[in-house]
Amino acid sequence: MRRLAVAAVALGGCLALAVPTGTAGAAPADPVPTVFFGDSYTANYGISPVNNQDNERGWCFQATQNYPAVATRSLAGKGITLDVQSDVSCGGALVEHFWTEQQLPFGAGRVPAQQDALKEDTKLVVGGMGGNTLGFTSILKQCSDELRKHPLLPGEPVDPDQPAGECRDFFASDDGKAWLDDRLQQVEWDLEQLLQRVSYFSPDAERVLVGYPRLVPEDTTKCLTPAPGQTEPPFADTPKDALPLLDQIQKQLDDAMKKAAADDGADFVDLYDRTGNNTACDGADRGIGGLLENSKLDLFGQSLPWYAHPNEKGRDIQAKYVTAKIEEVLNR
């Protein structure tokens, strides 16, 4: 009842939402009006240069060559032209920023709700959100004394009074587990809202929700060794016994995203299941930059860390699987 009530209000009383279906045939001959949305993993924070350096959107840290740009170029080589109406992906975005404006860091201003980019003639909507709504940066800071020393890095510990070295037990306890369960439920609910809103504002659009690449490998002993050229382990001082916990939480996030997409008839790009050999702990093969490893960005002359975001290799992996999914969707 809660979901029906909120959806009715949010979507102007429209209780029956059109869900787009694929049509048989070859790839479209005409350019496909497309909107990309998402958070820092779609914007590809950490990769330089960034778009919109002359206005407040520069604080979204959206890479000029983020995976939407790379995938668009790759599809063009396959004879599929995307008419990109907008790429509104922005670092730090919560799922709710799809329908509400987002406050940028350091008082840099606000950006409009991402859904404002949708048009009635939009035929393809692609992107991913959920990690910030889950509070993954807060989970990381709950498990690291070193990260707690960096106030400019986003996120606050879930409970700063609890020692970072005991974070595994914290998230298994009543308070920590209840916090995590609530956040996962919120992610799923908000993503359902997001997908419904896409169908409302762009009723003919195919919807592709993109998941997150895997951060922690199955063999967590690899995470105890710095990557080539680095001095810090990929997850800094995160306790060894907490690394499987981080992976478990990310898998729960992936499952919540997958379920939201399936329940709403959208397509899903499952990057978690495809990136087990390119985690932050895979050395030269890593597709994820370490928590404190310098990225390609700097702020006020100081290098910004990757903070567990895709590097160029990871960006290309994202683009590869997003390209394949878009091609599949547009060819069916």
Mean pLDDT across the stretch 241-270?
Answer: 98
Return the pLDDT at 17.
Answer: 34
Distance, CA of 295 to CA of 167 (rounded, Å): 27
Residue 121 located in a structural domain? yes
Residue 131 located in a structural domain? yes
- Tell me if residue 309 is catalytic: yes
Reported as a single tens digit per residue, the pLDDT across 150-204 is 988 999 999 999 999 999 999 999 899 999 999 999 999 999 999 999 999 999 9
Residue 20 located in a structural domain? no
Dihedral angle sign, alpha carbons of residues 237, 148, 216, 71: negative
Residue 27 located in a structural domain? no
In sequence order, the 6+-apart residues with CB closer than 8 A to the CB of 186 are 133, 134
Give phi and psi for 323, each to the nearest 5.
-60, -45
pTM beyond cutoff 0.85: yes
Taking alpha carbons only, the member of 104, 106, 98 closest to residue 128 is 98
Beta bridge partners of 124: 34, 206
C-beta separation of 291 from 307 below 8 A: yes
Between the alpha carbon of residue 81 and those of residues 54, 78, 124, 153, 326, the distances in Å are: 28, 9, 12, 38, 11
Reported as a single tens digit per residue, the pLDDT across 102-151 is 999 988 899 999 999 999 999 999 999 999 999 999 999 999 999 999 98
Q: How big is the CA angle at 89 (ends 86 and 94), to the nearest 5 degrees?
A: 135
SS3 track for 182-219: HHHHHHHHHHHHHHHHHHHHCCCCEEEEECCCCCCCCC
Three-state DSSP state, 17: coil
Residue 34 located in a structural domain? no
Taking alpha carbons only, the member of 68, 59, 62, 69 closest to residue 47 is 62
Domain residues for the domain of 279 are 42-331
The total number of structural domains in the chain stands at 1
Reported as a single tens digit per residue, the pLDDT across 26-37 is 777 899 999 999
The active-site residue, picked from 138, 144, 295, 309, is: 309
User: Tell me, what CATH number does 170's domain have?
Assistant: 3.40.50.1110
Q: Where are the beta strands (DSSP E) in the chain?
A: 32-38, 82-87, 102-103, 110-111, 124-128, 206-210, 267-269, 294-299, 302-305
Chain-wide mean pLDDT for the chain?
Answer: 92
Distance, CA of 320 to CA of 318 (rounded, Å): 5
In sequence order, the 6+-apart residues with CB closer than 8 A to the CB of 145 are 164, 165, 237
Between the alpha carbon of residue 91 and those of residues 192, 201, 220, the distances in Å are: 21, 23, 28
What region does 36 belong to: left with phi over 0, alpha with psi -120 to 50, or beta?
Answer: beta
Residue 85 located in a structural domain? yes
162 DSSP assignment: S
Better-scored residue on pLDDT, 21 or 312: 312
pLDDT band, residue 2 (cuts 50/70/90): very low
Token readout for 97 is 């920023």
C-beta separation of 206 from 20 below 8 A: yes
In sequence order, the 6+-apart residues with CB closer than 8 A to the CB of 36 are 42, 68, 84, 86, 87, 88, 89, 125, 126, 127
Residue 241 located in a structural domain? yes
In sequence order, the 6+-apart residues with CB closer than 8 A to the CB of 165 are 145, 239
Residue 16 located in a structural domain? no
Return the pLDDT at 25.
Answer: 57
The active-site residue, picked from 40, 89, 202, 295, is: 40
